[in-house]
Structures are given as C-alpha cells and as structure tokens.
Structure 1
C-alpha cells in the first residue's frame, strides 16, 4: 500500500551518526581586489578584516554543526542503534539481491541495500518505509527526485508522530568537487549515514547550504541550483510517497544454474538434427 503525504576504510560506528550520542535534547559576502599593486593602508586593513570575518564565519558554522549533532533524544538513539545492527548484518552478504557484488562497506548496490535495511527494520517492528520525493522545476531550482528511508514513531503522548530520516549517502549529498579547504573540513565532520529526526535535518541543511553559498562566493564561483537551500529541503522535507519495499530475491540462488558444454564434446548432430546425415566412427591414432 502506498501512502502520499507531505512533509572498507571507515568503521560502521563512524559512518552512522555516532557522535549524536554525547548529549540529550534538552548563521556578508567579502571580497578583496589587489588593484594596481600600490601600497594602501586602507586596503590592507580591509583585507585583514575580510580574512578575520571569513574565519569567524567558518568557526561559527562548525560550532553550529557540532551543536546540532550533540543533541539527540531516546527515540533517535534507539532507531540509530537498530540501523547499525541491521547494516552490520547486511554487510555479511557478498551479493546484492540483484546479483551484483557488493564493493562498498555496508553494501554496493544502494537500491538493494536500502530495501534490505527497510525490510529488516520492519521485521524489528519499526514503521519503516521507502520514501520517494519529487518536485517540479521553478524559477530558482530544477525538478528532481530523491529516495531515502523513513521511520515514523508514534507515541502515546500528545507529541504525535516523529519522523526519523535514514539517509545512506548523507555526506556525499553535500560534497563539492572544487570546494574550499574550510568547506571540506566542515563536510568532513558529517557522517556517511544519517539517522535523525526531520527537525534536526532541517537545521543541518540550513547550516550546510549557507556554508556552500559562502564557499562559492569566496571562490568567485556560481552556486549550482542543485546546491541551493530550497533544492536540498525538497529532497527530504517536501512531499513524498511512502511505500513498502518489494521482497528481495535471494541473490542468484533463485536462478537455475546454466549447464556449460565444451565444444570439444558437444555433438552438433544431436543438437541440430540434419536429415540424411550418417554418423561414421573414426579411429583416432596416438602419435
């Protein structure tokens, strides 16, 4: 049933949002032109101010990022731990359901891994589903779609539903090929796999998109529309289609093995009957 609604070098522990466990839950463009090369006290002071202001910006973004990571609640922690265990179990499989060899830590075919993680979490009693978001193009961003996992937790209290997003490729979603050292350092603090509620994800998107915008301005480069805040929000926080995963095929076990025949022993006369063809025994001598 489909529901429409709005809305290996690294260890697995390092990959899965590990540093959220440290606490409980309880943001001007600057430029400098060298001019004609003449000494200018005012220009030197302006440059010094820009460097200091830039450093302050990146230090602040790092603090905001870490502050967002260090807050968590018991529901997130429980789902995060379950996701770790599921990924550990999935890592023992050498093949995806589609038959491709797994070449990455935690799985090679991301589509099959996503289905497998979803199925395993459902078997543990979680209301997990595969979510597919789609959005139309506008004057500021192009159209697109994105697939991720979501667990919906319903409590008996008045808090209502809590949506927890599971993104298996989180860090890569924010990496940029020609980014600055400061931006890469910030992105390096992101986990490979994100497990957290949508409110926390919304805060992270704001921080990271602000950093991407600043990075491109400091490098005098154009920010791609797919890097904008509105585009990133549409991936995980917009309208999505929730669906249960299809059962996974058991690797190649369901496929009958094909018999192989050597051309040295293959009898064409038996495979392709030819009228009037007579078989004659031929003696083969040994030299």
Structure 2
C-alpha cells in the first residue's frame, strides 16, 4: 500500500471518529438535561425552589399592592361611587330600555348604558360626561378607542385645578385573559366591576395588573400582546377624550316612559352576559 493511500485512510478514520464524538456528545447533553429535569442534581433542585419562592413572593406583593391601591378612596370618590351604584340599581329595577336604533336587543347595550348613567349623575349634581378616547398606533401599541364616563369636580375655593374621576362599568373584564394562571385570575377577582377613581388610582391599578399579566405570559411561555401593555391600557382612560355632555342625549324621562323590553340584567354588554352585582 502506498503512502498516499495510508494517509487517506487515516483521514477517513479521523472523520468517522469526529462524527462519532459529535453524536456521543449530543446524547450526553440530552441525558444530562433529562437528569436535571428529573431532579438528579441538587443544584437543579435548589434553582427550582428559588424560582418557586420568587414567584410566590411576586404574586403576594402584587396582591398586597392592588388591595392598597383600591382601598385608597377620597370622600369624593366614595360619594360618586354611591350615586353610581344607585343609578345601577335603578337600571336593574326594569324601568330602563335602550333608546338606540337596535330596538330588538334583549340586553342593554354599552352605549345606552353609559349615556343613562351619565345623565343620572348629571341629575345628581355632577359635571359628568360620556368620554370617547382615541389614540394612534406607535411602535409599542396599536391604535384603539374606548368609551366610559367621567366626573369633573371643581375645587370649592377655585384655587386648585379641577379633579377628574374616571367611572368604568366593566373594569374587571378589561383585564380578563384566556388561559390565564390561577394567580392572575385571583388578582382579577379582586378588581371591582364598577371602578371609580382619580387618575392616580387608575395608573396604580393598571400598572399592577399589567405587570401581573406580563409575569403570567412569561410563565406560560406566551407572547405579551401589545394591547395588554400598560401604555395601551392607560390610553383607554387617561388619554385626552372627547367629552359629550348629557344635554346632547335623549332625555331620561322619555327613555323610561317607553314600554320596557323583556327583563335583562344591566351591563351585560356585548361579550359579558353575567349580571352586574352592586355591593
């Protein structure tokens, strides 16, 4: 056998050995990974314990922060909430029907509900309005729009700037997510169905819930949708809205004098047929 043939044979064996080493290395890495997942290494167990403790601490903190944020209510917010809940009870009494073009609807639509509550608060002496907010898309979030009610309270002395209070009737549903974790759903359950709060309260609650949504998505290895981000959620209630005064609405007296349709629970809206409960 000549020298050239011997050299080619050696190179062939080296190639085979190289491929063999690669295959064996691959299987070794797979086995190590299986071992780690099965708890074969104490270090892996410690990491899992640390992650679990960190996760529990996060949810406990979010729960505490949310309760603290919701508990902070001024006398103005409490008064508006009481009058709002009184208006809701009046709607649930069966004396209200939608006055929109959809006369065959069996349930109250969101638009008519918001207009009715706006008018009721106006009759109670508040500077209330139906708000329609719109925002443009950006690199972070898509465009969108949202309707709700607000109340502007002037200071008695006139020296301070007016205080704006947001009134949202479907607040809890705004944060509901499909396939959410038990911890996240527990936080959602803490939220009130009817939210009444100043801008600072809105910011606090939204940031807490959006941080929780991000954690939930990360734990589930899911992408955080842009409409779940705090910037998008805050735009719903804190971007500059168009305020429509109650004077532009159809009078309440005309609405309530019409023959009611079949009874339906208030604030079922389009996607949430669960009756609204007033505490």
Question: Shorter-chain TM-score category?
Answer: 0.7 to 0.9
Q: Mind listing any 5+ residue stretches in structure 2 that lack a counterpart?
A: 1-31, 260-279
- Report 1:211-230 matches (<5 A): 211-230=212-231
Where does structure 1 lack aligned partners over 5 or more consecutive residues? 1-33, 255-287
Quote how far apart the aligned CAs of 1:37 are. 2.8
Greater Cα offset, 245-254 or 176-185: 245-254
Matched residues in 2 for 1:189 and 1:66: separation? 8
Secondary structure of the residue that 2:210 maps to in structure 1?
Answer: helix
Residue 131 (structure 2) pairs with residue 128 (structure 1): no
Give the corresponding residue for 1:85. 86
Whose radius of gyration is greater, 1 or 2?
2
Q: Residue 94 of structure 1 contacts residue 102 of structure 1 at CA under 8 Å; is this kept in 2? A: no
Are the counterparts in 1 of residues 97 and 258 from structure 2 also a CA contact under 8 Å? no
For the 8 Å contact 1:94–1:101, the answer to whether it is kept is no
User: What does residue 155 of structure 2 align with?
Assistant: 155
| Counterpart in the other structure of 1:58 | 59
Indicate the residue corresponding to 1:37 in structure 2: 35
Instruction: For residue 159 of structure 1, report the CA deviation from its aligned partner.
Output: 3.3
Which is further off, 198-207 or 243-252?
A: 243-252
TM-score between both structures, scaled by the size of structure 2? 0.74
1:89: Cα distance to partner?
Answer: 1.1
SS of equivalent residue, structure 2 residue 114: helix
- The number of aligned residues is 217
Q: Which has the higher helix share?
A: 2
Secondary structure in 2 matching 1:87: helix
Q: Residue deviations 1:176-195, cap 9 Å, x none?
A: 01111100001011111111
How large is the RMSD of aligned CA atoms in angstroms? 1.8
Say yes or no: does 1:240 pair with 2:241: yes
Cα displacement (A) at 1:211: 0.4
Offset at residue 233 of structure 1 (A): 0.9
Give the CA deviation at 1:35: 2.5
Task: Give TM-score, length-normalised by structure 1.
Answer: 0.72
Mean Cα displacement is larger for which, 158-167 or 215-224? 158-167
* Aligned equivalent of 2:138: 138
Which SS does the other structure have where 2:35 is aligned? coil
